Amino acid sequence: MSAGWLVAIVLGIGVLAYFFSAQRARAQRDQVDRAKEVPHSLPLYHGWFAFLLSTLPAIIVLVVLSAVSSGLIEGRIRAEAGTHIPDPAAASLQVGIIHNAAEALARLGLTGTGVPSTYAALRDAASAAGISLADSGEDYMLPLAAGVNEEAALHRLLIQGLALLLSVAGAVFAYSRIRIRLRARNEVERIVLWSLIGASTVAILTTVGIVLSMLGETIHFFSEVNPLNFFFGTVWDPRFAAAGSGGSEGQFGLIPLLAGTLYIALVSMLFAVPVGLMAAVYMGEYASPRIRSTVKPLLELLAGIPTIVYGIFAVVTLGPFFRDLSAALAGGFAFIQAQSVFTAGIVMGVMLIPVVSSLSDDVITAVPRAMRDGSLALGATRSETIRKVILPAALPGIVGALLLTASRAIGETMIVVLAAGVAARLSINPFEAMTTITVKIVNQLTGDLEFNSPQTLVAFALGLTLFVITLGMNVYALYIVRKYREQYE
């Protein structure tokens, strides 16, 4: 039985538990009405109480134990592969081959004595069935792959049986607890509360896990590369040593990437902030409800366009347009390159307009109505009220919105790689190509380099640096927004 079918069965048990528990509570309520007693909760809450008890524990056990099972199987494969190949990097490759071989055995239905004796035989059988396997597999992988399938099947059977048992037990327990004075509503709210706390905990633990995973590889990188050369270096050449450097691993200067990241973000903000802020002022202060209900969804539609589409628009349309326009203005000399900071900033600014306008509009409309009415009552015009009352009052919230928008711009990748290029250079000319941290993270994690080499590990150092920058901006923005909200409470 697949996990999808098991979840469907558990949900079906929950629906049945909901129906029968609600019916029982309804019947008891009818009896109580005749005795002139008031039940504590409606039958609806009794049904939800039974549904939650019969589904949540089973699904949680299914997810947790499945993850534990995968970890145990992965540990066994790595331990076995490590006895044949001591090199961790090569062992990781062998683990992937073993997983593929186990999947091929499962799809071919080969178990026990039906498992081929050689890897070449399995590869031929898989190729005949349209399944591709690596050519570098070895014969010792076949028994291990078959054992992996057997162990996974046993774990799956035990986990599914336990999940079904918990689901049925939860339904029976909830049904047996249906009473006239059962505080089913309080129980449901308590379960929902703990579910929300669990979801928040998962989000926090996920963030911590991301940071720790990057931190470990970053420490490994700094054990091979001097942190001072990374944070204060002005040359980015991770593949080959720069001339006269005397090194063999190249140079990993962060300054050109950080400069390109901040430069492109600055250009995009210079374009997005005035347009987005004026759009927010119009929608919040001038537009009628009918126009607002039409314009705002259309404006926010820009936020739903994939960034790769913006990048294609930049590299196909906007970049060549700026290049040809500059050539026409300068008598044949194109001083604006097709891939440049200016092009990437303009396209990214278009993408950020709905973010700026939406956040700023929410802040402007949150300004108390009494401040508007008081300014108008004193004889100020609408434009004077906006400039001297509303915008100053909303300024902290607008600054927080702009900081959140800037962090969004700093983390953009696809627009930059297509519109600004991949050249890591220091330049103040916005019409030349530059690149950002995110682009180099993608470049360093793709290719044929070994995973434990400095050329690959530098991606984690870049990612952690970018994480710290955006986290600091987000925290500061949230602090400003919270302070703004407290001002009018």
pLDDT score for 324 = 86
User: Which percentage of the chain shows pLDDT scores above 70?
Assistant: 90
User: Which tokens sit at 23?
Assistant: 């019916």
Distances (CA, A) of 214 to 23, 137, 458, 459: 53, 31, 10, 9
Does pLDDT of 248 surpass 70? no
Name the pLDDT band for 243 (thresholds 50, 70, 90): very low
- Greatest Cα-to-Cα distance within the chain, rounded to the nearest angstrom: 97
pLDDT score for 284 = 84
Does pLDDT of 292 surpass 80? yes
User: Which percentage of the chain shows pLDDT scores above 90?
Assistant: 4
Pairing between β-strand 236-237 and β-strand 251-252 as defined by DSSP bridges: antiparallel
Report DSSP letters for 356-402, one per residue.
HHHHHHHHHHTS-HHHHHHHHHTT--HHHHIIIIIHHHHHHHHHHHH
Query: Average pLDDT of the chain?
Result: 82
pLDDT score for 376 = 87
Confirm if 415 and 267 have CB atoms less than 8 A apart. Answer: no
Q: Lowest-confidence range among 16-20, 47-51, 296-300?
A: 296-300
More confident residue, 448 or 21: 21
pLDDT score for 32 = 62
Average pLDDT estimate for 226-250? 68
Name the pLDDT band for 242 (thresholds 50, 70, 90): very low
pLDDT score for 274 = 92
Q: Could you give all domains of the chain from N- to C-terminal order, each with its CATH number?
A: 3-182 (no CATH), 251-488 (1.10.3720.10)
Give the residues across from 236 on adjacent strands: 252
Residue 301 is classified by DSSP as: G
pLDDT score for 247 = 46
Does pLDDT of 245 surpass 60? no
Does pLDDT of 244 surpass 70? no
pLDDT score for 270 = 92
Does pLDDT of 366 surpass 70? yes
Distances (CA, A) of 42 to 53, 172, 259: 17, 20, 62
Name the pLDDT band for 249 (thresholds 50, 70, 90): low
Name the pLDDT band for 379 (thresholds 50, 70, 90): confident
pLDDT per residue as tens digits for the range 259-286 = 889 999 999 999 999 999 999 898 888 8
More confident residue, 487 or 250: 250
Average pLDDT estimate for 450-476? 83
Does pLDDT of 178 surpass 80? yes
d(CA 324, CA 128): 54
Name the pLDDT band for 6 (thresholds 50, 70, 90): confident
Helix (H, G, I), strand (E, B) or coil at 236: strand
pLDDT per residue as tens digits for the range 7-20 = 888 888 888 888 88
pLDDT score for 484 = 61
Q: Lowest-confidence range among 2-6, 188-192, 222-226, 277-281?
A: 2-6
Distances (CA, A) of 168 to 16, 57, 157, 467: 10, 11, 17, 45
User: Which tokens sit at 158?
Assistant: 């035990």
